[in-house]
């Protein structure tokens, strides 16, 4: 008896597309309007306490320590071992944030592992 490969329903694919675009869109917003914008940088460094400044400081700490790439790689490896929609969603979010927010190498490797997860069999159902 052979197992069927891991396949997503059309609704799951649409959900993943929306989640992926939202994650990459937020990362682009944060990178170009929060991190690389010199006026925002000066205001935040001067002590401005807004949500953008807090998100900027949190994301700066996370990408300096390669957290986005490491999380994406760990989740993609778990998804390769045992594929599921939850792991795939978390992996797409972490990899999307990592690609845009300077963790390109680890996040790119994670995206490759996420794609390889479709070649593995799905978990057995009772």
Tens of pLDDT along 69-96? 999 999 999 999 888 999 999 999 999 9
Residue 7 is predicted with a pLDDT of 84
Distance of CA 112 to the CA centre of its chain: 13
Total domains, the chain: 1
Q: Regarding predicted confidence, which is higher, 93 or 7?
A: 93
- Any domain includes 66: yes
- Any domain includes 34: yes
Tens of pLDDT along 30-65? 999 999 999 999 999 999 999 999 999 999 999 999
For residue 76, count other CB atoms closer than 10 A to its CB: 28
- Any domain includes 4: no
- Any domain includes 5: no
- Any domain includes 3: no
H or E stretch at 12: helix 10-30
- Any domain includes 6: no
What is the Cβ-side half-sphere exposure of residue 26, based on CA atoms within 13 angstroms?
15
- Any domain includes 91: yes
Q: How far apart are CA 35 and CA 59, in angstroms?
A: 9
In which domain, by residue range, is 36 found?
12-119
């Amino acid at each position: 008896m052979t197992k069927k490969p891991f396949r997503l329903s059309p609704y799951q694919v649409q959900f993943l597309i929306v989640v992926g675009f939202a994650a990459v869109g937020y990362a682009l917003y944060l990178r170009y309007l929060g991190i690389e914008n010199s006026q925002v940088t000066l205001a935040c460094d001067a002590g401005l306490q807004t949500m953008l400044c807090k998100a900027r400081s949190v994301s700066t700490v996370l990408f300096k320590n390669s957290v986005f790439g490491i999380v994406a790689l760990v989740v993609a490896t778990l998804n390769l071992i045992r594929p599921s929609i939850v792991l795939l969603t978390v992996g797409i979010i972490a990899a999307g944030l990592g690609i845009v927010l300077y963790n390109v190498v680890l996040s790119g490797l994670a995206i490759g592992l996420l794609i390889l997860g479709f070649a593995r069999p799905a978990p057995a159902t009772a």
